[in-house]
Amino acid sequence: TGCYGLPKAQQALRERINDTSESVPAGYIHSPFMTQSILQPEHVAIEAPGISISYQQLYSLSTRLSHKLMGVGAKPNHLVAIMMEKGWEQSVACLCILQAGCAYVPVDPSLPAERLNFILQNIDCQIVLTQKQVNEKIDWPDFVTVFNAVEDCADYSSKPIDCHGQPDDLAY
C-alpha cells in the first residue's frame, strides 16, 4: 500500500487527478456548455425524473435568468446564493450566475433560519436563486432579493450575453 493506506494504483490515480502543474484552459467555466449548446442544441443536456432538457432549452432558461439577474444589479465579483433542493434547476442557476459574470455560493436550505441569515450577511449576498417549494418555507431577510430560478424568467430575453469576466474574478 501507498500513502494514507491506499493501494499504490489508487494513490497514483489520486496524484494524477490532483496534479496542478498543467495550465488552466482559457475561457470561462461555462464555455464548454456554451459550445455544446451551439454545436448540438437538440441533444439532451439534463435528464431528470419527469423531464428531459436539451442544450438549447437549458441555454435559453439560463440566459433569460442571467438577464434578469443583471437587471437587478448582478455583476462580476458579486456572490449569488443558490438555495435549492437537489434537482435540475440547480444547473440552470449555476449557468445563469456564471453567464452574468458572478460567482455562486450553494447554501443548504434546510439550515436553521439564523444560520441562513448569518451566511447571507457574511458573504454580502443580495440575490438568492431558489425553487418555489423552498421559497415558501423560508422567512427571507429584507436585504436579499429572491427569485424562483425557473419560474421568474419567462419574460426576459434569451439573446446571448457578452460576459465581461476576467481571469482574476471570483468565479475564475
Report pLDDT digits (tens) over 123-159.
999 999 999 999 999 989 999 999 888 876 667 667 7
Residues 6 or more apart whose Cβ sits within 8 Å of residue 96: 61, 62, 63, 64, 65, 66, 69, 129, 149, 153
All cell numbers assigned to 95: 449557468
Write down the pLDDT at residue 117: 93
Global confidence as pTM: 0.80
Q: Which of 12-16, 20-24, 42-46, 104-108 has the lowest mean pLDDT?
A: 20-24
Structural contact between residues 97 and 69, judged by C-beta atoms closer than 8 angstroms: yes
Q: How far apart are the two ends of the chain, measured CA to CA in Å?
A: 37
Pairing mode of beta strands 127-130, 103-106: unpaired
Question: CA-CA distance, 64 to 76, in Å (whole number)?
Answer: 17
